[in-house]
């Protein structure tokens, strides 16, 4: 059991560039440039906190765009967090997120047992790790979105549940090594997007390294290796990405041995004592903040496997989402929009 938590961290060293973004303010909205007849900038209409448009989008008057004026901004965009949470009166516990702070995070259940996490990449599609769904049928899987405290119903917002119609694992996934460890879960019906249920952005094929960037993993796994119970309240862990060569050298100092080779589908993060994702976090996203934005993130990886949890100079291993951009894109596009809903890359 040397790879003790096959519920790893998927971290990505590759990440999308962000520059020259259009800043938008309500009642304007971000739309594709071709869909905005007047391409009117909303920058001077500061009726609320501004939000950044994705690459290829402009800030446009709703009445001049192809989008409904009733559609919330976050329904057309991805990766927007609630940095202050949705319940200001709730005391913030160290090591835990704020209520609905990261609204793309979902809990994955097999019947009544929490088995890991995932991220909402489209209203009807969850990205997770293949290993947590090994020997599992779609009929047994439940996806819970919009939850924060799994043991309480006292939040001001309601969690929602969907059944699963299809599980698509990567065809070259290898359980023993964690290579190509990702899966898409297609829901029976899409979630309706709202303040506490949103999508995470996926990195496009145009990526760059963010080795010095602190990223985050969110989930309900155990706090420390050896703990008997998962966390009821959603955890958040800040982690730094680790250079591939450095990670491989550090992992060779463990029981993996000097012949260990880090597969190209894997990347690493962490290595700080006592700070790590752990058992029960498998399939959860590792995501990084967009430059210049306080509240927008892109998923760079998926929790994959690690050597116990939180050991000094022993990074954890993640699936590299950027490497699988085309595979994810093809799988999602194969499902009709009414079933999956729209998804977004940057």
263, part of any domain: yes
Of 158-167, 251-260, 272-281, 328-337, the poorest mean pLDDT is in: 328-337
**Does 214 share its domain with 252?**
yes
Pair (277, 173) in one structural domain:
no
Residue matched to tokens 């080779």:
261
Cβ atoms of 344 and 201 closer than 8 Å: yes
> Residue 260, Cβ neighbours under 10 Å: how many?
13
How far is residue 262's CA from residue 274's CA, in Å, rounded to a whole number? 23
Q: Does residue 87 lie within any of the structural domains?
A: no
Kindly report which listed range (118-127, 234-243, 316-325, 326-335) carries the lowest average pLDDT score.
Answer: 326-335
> Is residue 17 in a domain?
no
- Same-domain check for residues 219 and 301: yes
Do 309 and 171 sit in the same domain of this protein?
A: no
Terminus-to-terminus CA distance in the chain, angstroms?
A: 38
pLDDT at 310: 92
CA distance 284 to 232: 15
* Average pLDDT value for residue range 295-321: 93
Same-domain pairing of 317 and 251: yes
Question: For 11-65, how does the pLDDT look when each residue is reduced to its tens digit (9 = 90+)?
Answer: 333 333 333 345 666 556 666 554 554 434 343 333 344 556 654 466 766 444 3
Whether residue 130 lies inside any domain: the answer is yes
Percent of the chain with pLDDT over 70: 71
Could you tell me if 183 and 231 lie in one domain?
no
| pLDDT band with cut points at 50, 70 and 90 for residue 72 | very low
Q: Decide if 61 is inside a domain.
A: yes
Distance CA 145, CA 160 (A): 5
b/e code 35-54 from CB counts within 10 Å (16+ = b): ebeebbbbeebeeeebbbbb
By the 10 Å C-beta count (0-12 exposed, 13-18 middle, 19+ buried), 324 is classed as: buried
CATH code of 305's domain: 2.40.10.10
In a domain, 226, yes or no: yes
- Answer yes or no: do 244 and 140 share one domain: no
Q: How far is CA 215 from CA 9, 13, 34, 318, in A?
A: 11, 10, 33, 13
What residues make up the domain containing 151? 105-195+325-340
Residues constituting the chain: 346
- Reported as a single tens digit per residue, the pLDDT across 194-248 is 999 999 998 865 444 555 567 999 999 998 888 889 999 999 999 989 999 999 9
Phi, psi (rounded to 5 degrees) for 322 = -60, -35
Q: Are residues 59 and 205 in the same domain?
A: no
Q: State the total domains in the chain.
A: 3
7, two tokens: 């519920």
Q: Are residues 237 and 305 in the same domain?
A: yes
């Amino acid at each position: 059991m040397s790879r003790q938590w096959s519920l790893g961290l998927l971290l990505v060293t590759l990440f999308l560039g962000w520059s020259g973004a259009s800043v938008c303010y309500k009642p304007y909205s971000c739309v594709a440039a071709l869909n905005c007849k007047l391409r009117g900038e909303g920058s001077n209409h500061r009726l609320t906190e501004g939000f950044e448009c994705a690459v290829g989008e402009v800030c446009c008057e709703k009445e001049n765009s192809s989008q409904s004026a009733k559609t919330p901004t976050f329904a057309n965009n991805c990766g927007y967090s609630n940095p202050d949470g949705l319940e200001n009166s709730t005391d913030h516990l160290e090591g835990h997120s704020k209520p609905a702070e990261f609204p793309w995070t979902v809990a994955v259940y097999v019947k009544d047992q929490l088995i890991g996490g995932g991220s909402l990449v489209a209203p009807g599609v969850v990205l997770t790790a293949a290993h947590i769904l090994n020997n599992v049928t779609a009929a047994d899987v439940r996806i819970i979105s919009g939850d924060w405290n799994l043991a309480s119903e006292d939040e001001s917002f309601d969690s929602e549940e969907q059944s699963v119609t299809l599980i698509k694992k990567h065809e070259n996934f290898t359980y023993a090594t964690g290579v190509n460890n990702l899966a898409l879960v297609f829901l029976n019906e899409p979630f309706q997007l709202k303040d506490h249920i949103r999508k995470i952005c996926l990195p496009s094929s145009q990526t760059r390294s963010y080795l010095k960037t602190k990223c985050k993993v969110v989930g309900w796994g155990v706090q420390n290796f050896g703990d008997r119970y998962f966390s009821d309240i959603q955890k958040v862990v800040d982690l730094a990405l680790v250079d591939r060569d450095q990670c491989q050298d550090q992992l060779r100092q463990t029981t993996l041995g000097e012949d260990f080779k880090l597969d190209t589908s894997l990347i690493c993060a962490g290595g700080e004592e006592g700070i790590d994702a752990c058992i029960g976090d498998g399939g959860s996203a590792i995501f990084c903040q967009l430059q210049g934005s306080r509240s927008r993130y892109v998923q760079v990886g998926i929790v994959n496997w690690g050597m116990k949890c939180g050991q000094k100079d022993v990074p954890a291993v993640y699936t590299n989402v950027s490497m699988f951009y085309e595979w994810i894109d093809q799988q999602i596009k194969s499902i009709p929009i009414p079933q999956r809903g729209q998804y977004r890359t940057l």
